[in-house]
Amino acid sequence: MRRQTLSMIPIILVALAVTAGSFYGYLRTTHALENAAWLTVTAQGLTLDLPADRAVPQQDPGDPWSATEFRAGTLGRLRIARERPQGELAPALRNWFALPGALDRPFTYQIHGQPAQARPVTAFGPSGYLIRREGRQWVAVCVFDLGGSRYWVQARSPGASRAALAGFHRVLLSLRGPDGAGVDPLLAGQLRAAERELARGIVQEERLWLFFIPVVGMGGMVALVLAIAGWSGRAPRTPEALGARYFQAPVEVFIAYKTQRKFFDAAIAVLDDRLVVYTFGTPFLTLPLADLRGKVTPGAGWFPPPYLEIAIEGSQYFHKVGLYRAMMARARLRIYTEDVLRLRAALGA
């Protein structure tokens, strides 16, 4: 494996770790409600099932509603409130839901600039259902009359998960009144329709392919690096290179100057009086053999093959450095090859 590819492994591993962590968090959130131990609790005269760890009664003497709030893990905050009805339910729903008309059909509209959807449902009789976006959360409410009381059942999700919304609907379907009677069978189909026909932007859509973008991106980057490396190390078609006494392409080269460290593929040719390093088929570096005496040192790194290291003093030997020429007055060149002995003999070092 080439060293420029190995140098990318830490970046790739970090990207994969972040992707795996995000994917694990997604799976944990998505399946937490399915795997949770659902409890049966009683609040405000209603019996219901929910994945709650504790219930916190909320009593406000100045509020006509008597409320109990549950912190229900990934489901979020669930609030069960009750009051004595003040008039008919239909006008109350139109007021509370900020509806443009009577709730006799589904409505898709906006509340404070955020998408909202309301529809008539049948819980324990004619009822109202609303879901709306609030910042990075959604809030869903079901309001109904039962036994001389008006109930407000609300969930506020910790995020905008569609799985949490399915969990809230499961709570609604588990409701039982003071007499033990459950909700109307029509409610299940109505809630499925509510999930199916949700307006865009209310809940976070589950696009699993998004988690694979970093993986595909890293794979594409590695492929691009390898393609560029192959192009960089291609053999030049110049007559002088073809008549060299030592020639190799591609060969891995390392160059270090100032704070820069670079690995790249190249082609090398030892001619009668000089060593030429080619990149992309044209000369990158030309070193007179007479200047190499005492400056060539063999070595071996962590990975094969071994290398020859050449100390370079003077930027005049470089052809493609541009603004970096001043920085390359003192540099180290390493040529990695299995033919170290033959290359060293060709250099006369």
Model confidence at 239, pLDDT cuts 50, 70, 90, reads low
Burial of residue 132, with CB atoms counted within 10 A of its CB: 0-12 exposed, 13-18 middle, 19 or more buried: buried
The model's pTM is 0.58
**282-294 pLDDT per residue, tens:** 888 899 998 888 8
Q: Residue 205 — very low, low, confident or very high, per pLDDT cuts 50/70/90?
A: low
- % of the chain beyond a pLDDT of 70: 82
Least confident of 54-58, 102-106, 159-163: 54-58
Q: Which residues contact residue 200 at a Cβ distance below 8 angstroms, ignoring those fewer than 6 apart?
A: 115
Please tell me the number of Cα atoms within 13 Å of 319 on its side-chain side: 12
Q: Closest by alpha carbon to 63, among 48, 92, 45, 84? A: 84
- The predicted-structure confidence for 148-182, as pLDDT tens digits, reads as follows 999 999 999 877 778 888 889 999 999 999 999 99
Q: Which domains, from first to last, does the chain contain?
A: 36-201 (3.40.1000), 233-347 (2.30.29)
Residue 61 pLDDT greater than 60, yes or no: no
Q: Long-range contact list for 318-325, CB < 8 A, 24+ apart? A: 318/284, 318/285, 319/282, 319/283, 319/284, 319/285, 319/286, 320/279, 320/282, 320/284, 324/257, 324/260
Long-range contacts of 212-221 (CB under 8 A, 24+ apart): 212/19, 214/15, 214/16, 214/18, 214/19, 215/15, 215/16, 215/19, 217/15, 218/11, 218/12, 218/15, 218/16, 221/8
Query: What's the pLDDT score for residue 38?
Result: 80
Report the share of the chain in percent with pLDDT over 90: 35
Question: What is the structure's pLDDT at 3?
Answer: 64
Radius of gyration of the chain (CA): 36
Query: What pLDDT does 1 receive?
Result: 46
Q: How many residues would you count in the chain? A: 349
**What gap in Å lies between CA 45 and CA 30, rounded to an integer?**
30
Tokens 């005049």, residue located: 316
Please provide the average confidence, as pLDDT, over all residues in the chain: 83
Question: For position 109, what pLDDT does the model report?
Answer: 92
Extract the tokens encoding 12: 């790739």
